[in-house]
Amino acid sequence: MKNKRAILLVTFGTSVQAAVPAFVNLEQTVKDTFPGVEVRWAYTAKTIRDIIAERDGKIINDPITALKRLWEDGFEKVVVQSVHVIPGREYNDLVADLNGLLMSQSVVKGIALGKPLLYHHEDYIAAAEAITAQLPVNTAANAVVLMGHGSEHHPADAAYGKFNDVLRHKYKNVFLGTVEGYPTLEEIVADLAASGVKNVTLMPFMNIAGDHALNDLYGDGRDSWKTRLNGLGYKTDGYIKGLLENRGFINIYLKHLSAAMSQINYSSALDC
């Protein structure tokens, strides 16, 4: 029984049905990489879980409930894989919740935690390489603006600034901004003005092309980045796909997952 292994993929979640195939793509790749290992999902966002339950009649568990269900089903060795871009609030809350659960158990469980996308320095380098497949042939003439989520009140927000710097050193006119952190669109506008380029491709730097990508980035509302850049005289087009539709980014998650699979141990606490 103790040899039964499972992987629990944990993310914020989405109610945007068109974005779900990106999650399916990750799940299938994980199943192909670890044949015979049970793979399940958990969403941290209660609002998203409630919308899906009411609209689709589908129950997606929160991480703690999902982990308990795995234990009840006899899976004694579980890797909880963070499907988050940075080790921000969502990731820290996941670690805290898991540790709280572990400390409440009378029997110590075999568990490990896979790191989020951008965790080690080499992850930033691999991510910068992965995005090559999405870029225009000549970014000197066609700039790229990436939209990340951001985490304004969490120190991990600095990850976006670091990745923006990595991109600057690797590519010409590829800029990263965030919806809720730093850099902002204002910094991007200054970078675009300095570049002199007038053609801009907009891309989400998020696991899926959900609400932020469809509305805040490329929507027709007056506050979307597309509308605001158009108003400044830029000609925009969009590459509206999530990172989980790019095998290069999935490979980073797989690397973290593989490391965690090799480190499952019977522990009463997990490190961040």
pLDDT of residue 270: 76
In this prediction, the residues of the chain whose per-residue pLDDT falls under 50 are 1
Please give the domain boundaries of the chain with CATH numbers for all domains. 5-117+246-267 (3.40.50.1400), 121-206+208-241 (3.40.50.1400)
pLDDT tens-digit readout, 116-127:
999 999 999 999
180 marked ligand binding residue = yes
Taking only the tens place, the pLDDT of each residue in 216-257 is 999 999 999 999 999 999 999 999 999 999 999 999 999 999
Q: What is the DSSP string of 60-101?
A: ---HHHHHHHHHHTT--EEEEEE--SSSSHHHHHHHHHHHHH
What's residue 2's pLDDT? Answer: 54
- 10 Å Cβ neighbour count for 35? 6
Whole-model pTM? 0.95
> Could you give the residue numbers annotated as active site?
149
Q: Is 90 annotated as a binding residue?
A: no
Spatial distance between the Cα atoms of 89 and 79, rounded to a whole number of angstroms = 20
